[in-house]
């Protein structure tokens, strides 16, 4: 379970365990947004974590994929040279050691069209794992992750164990592989966003749920000028958390309800108020498993299962820019 691997900052909880994915170094650069998605997929006979990071700035988009337990020095299968390996480590299932993983990266510069199409092969426990992507026609909005017209596929034992994007037929045709009987599960999303006073993201709190719009807004962009500041957290336009006098309540947590699902919301805005230079606040959204003894859960039990809620966690780093 992801909760057994990582701990939440002590200011949020005395004992609850939540994932903590290392932030991409580039995400701290001014104006560069990044989102990291961690999936659990069946690879080489075991459940392993696959980390996918999308980033963007004014000139380029970037993609990085790493697989838990993979050895470094992966083989380029696309005939191009866009991949750059870098050693990385992720906590293993025992919670006490480290397992090596090789991160493969591609930067999609506007003048390098060929970098948007390629493939890479890793070795995991002696088995070949392929990462295949086609981003040539990908459509983007203001977010790092593409909206449509792309695919990124991870193939293990002739099965597509993770498939991102809407060009699924093209991915299966290119890889010549069948869909996995075990669906990959998104267990963590970690995003860096930049703004003056309004921070936006999207999240789906369980596999069968809708995609929710999340916004965090402050009543003033001047957070460290001695001005009394309020903060609101909205889900789909409705105010779910209202924090008055943020300078006195810059850390806290609250349990909210979204379509009968309870979600714990934690925030730490200390650096917004008392830091210098570029600074961020941290927001964590952690769904709780529904209690099947409650009438609401029983009424909708046919639509979802308890395990769908148990692992997912959203980390939002809201970077304040002047």
CATH label of the domain that carries residue 313? 2.40.128.180
Alpha-carbon distance of 159 to 252, in angstroms, equals 44
176-201: pLDDT as tens digits: 999 999 999 999 999 999 988 899 99
Burial letters 54-72, b for 16+ CB under 10 A, else e: bbbeeeebbbbbbbbbbee
The reply to whether 252 and 156 lie within a common domain is: no
| pLDDT at 242 (0 to 100) | 96
| pLDDT at 17 (0 to 100) | 42
Look at the chain and report how many structural domains it folds into.
2
Spatial contact of 88 and 50, defined as CB atoms under 8 Å apart: no
User: pLDDT higher for 96 or 144?
Assistant: 144
User: pLDDT higher for 72 or 248?
Assistant: 248
Has residue 20 been placed in a domain?
yes
Using the structure block, give the residue that is written with the tokens 């999609």: 108
Nearest to 62 by CA among 231, 192, 243: 192
The reply to whether 83 and 169 lie within a common domain is: yes
**pLDDT exceeding 90 applies to what percent of the chain?**
45
Query: Which range among 162-176, 218-232, 285-299 shows the weakest confidence by mean pLDDT?
Result: 285-299
212-266: pLDDT as tens digits: 999 999 987 777 666 788 999 999 999 999 999 999 999 999 999 988 889 999 9
The reply to whether 148 and 211 lie within a common domain is: no
The reply to whether 128 and 215 lie within a common domain is: no
Which residue among 127, 153, 186 closes a domain?
186
The pTM of the full predicted model, rounded to 2 decimals, is 0.78
Mean of the pLDDT values across residues 151-171?
96
Neighbours of 176 (CB within 10 A): 9
Phi, psi dihedral angles at 308 (to 5 degrees): -70, -20
Which residue among 138, 164, 186 closes a domain?
186
The reply to whether 209 and 137 lie within a common domain is: no
Has residue 155 been placed in a domain?
yes
The reply to whether 130 and 244 lie within a common domain is: no
Mean of the pLDDT values across residues 66-88?
53
pLDDT above 50 for 89: no
16-30: pLDDT as tens digits: 443 444 445 445 554
Has residue 191 been placed in a domain?
no
The reply to whether 157 and 219 lie within a common domain is: no
Alpha-carbon distance of 162 to 182, in angstroms, equals 10
The reply to whether 93 and 58 lie within a common domain is: yes
Has residue 293 been placed in a domain?
yes
The reply to whether 166 and 274 lie within a common domain is: no
| pLDDT at 94 (0 to 100) | 34
Has residue 52 been placed in a domain?
yes
- As beta bridge partners, residue 132 has 119, 153
Q: Specify whether the backbone of 99 is left (phi greater than 0), alpha (psi in -120 to 50) or beta.
A: beta
The reply to whether 163 and 258 lie within a common domain is: no
Which residue among 186, 219, 236 closes a domain?
186
The reply to whether 143 and 248 lie within a common domain is: no
Res. 88 pLDDT band, cuts 50 70 90: very low
| pLDDT at 300 (0 to 100) | 47
| pLDDT at 85 (0 to 100) | 36
Domain extent, residue 103, equals 2-186
Has residue 109 been placed in a domain?
yes
The reply to whether 78 and 162 lie within a common domain is: yes
| pLDDT at 176 (0 to 100) | 95
| pLDDT at 91 (0 to 100) | 28
Query: Which range among 66-70, 227-231, 308-312 shows the weakest confidence by mean pLDDT?
Result: 308-312
Has residue 13 been placed in a domain?
yes
Res. 271 pLDDT band, cuts 50 70 90: very high
| pLDDT at 16 (0 to 100) | 40
């Amino acid at each position: 379970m992801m909760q057994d691997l990582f701990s939440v900052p002590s200011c949020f909880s005395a004992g609850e365990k939540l994932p903590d994915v290392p932030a991409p170094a580039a995400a701290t650069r001014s104006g560069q947004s990044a989102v990291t998605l961690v999936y659990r997929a069946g690879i080489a006979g075991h459940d392993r974590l696959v980390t996918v990071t999308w980033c963007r700035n004014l000139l380029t988009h970037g993609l990085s994929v790493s697989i838990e337990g993979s050895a470094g020095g992966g083989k380029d299968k696309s005939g191009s040279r866009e991949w750059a390996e870098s050693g990385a480590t992720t906590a293993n299932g025992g919670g006490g050691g480290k397992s090596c993983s090789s991160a493969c990266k591609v930067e999609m510069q506007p003048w390098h069209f060929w970098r948007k199409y390629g493939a890479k092969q890793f070795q995991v426990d002696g088995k070949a794992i392929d990462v295949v992507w086609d981003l040539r026609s990908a459509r983007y909005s203001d977010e790092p992750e593409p909206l449509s017209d792309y695919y990124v596929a991870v193939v293990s034992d002739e099965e597509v164990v993770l498939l991102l994007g809407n060009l699924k037929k093209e991915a299966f045709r290119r890889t010549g592989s069948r869909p996995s009987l075990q669906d990959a599960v998104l267990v963590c999303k970690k995003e860096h966003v930049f703004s003056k006073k309004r921070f936006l993201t999207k999240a789906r709190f369980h596999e069968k749920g809708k995609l929710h719009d999340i916004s965090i807004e402050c009543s003033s962009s001047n957070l460290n000028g001695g001005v009394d500041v309020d903060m609101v957290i909205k889900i789909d336009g409705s105010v779910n958390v209202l924090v008055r006098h943020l300078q006195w309540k810059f850390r806290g947590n609250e349990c909210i309800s979204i379509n009968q699902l309870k979600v714990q919301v934690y925030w730490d805005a200390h650096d917004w108020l008392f830091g210098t230079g570029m600074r961020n606040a941290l927001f964590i959204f952690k769904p709780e498993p529904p209690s099947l003894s409650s009438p609401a859960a029983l009424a909708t039990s046919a639509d979802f299962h308890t395990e769908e809620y148990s692992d997912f966690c959203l980390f939002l780093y809201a970077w304040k820019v002047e």
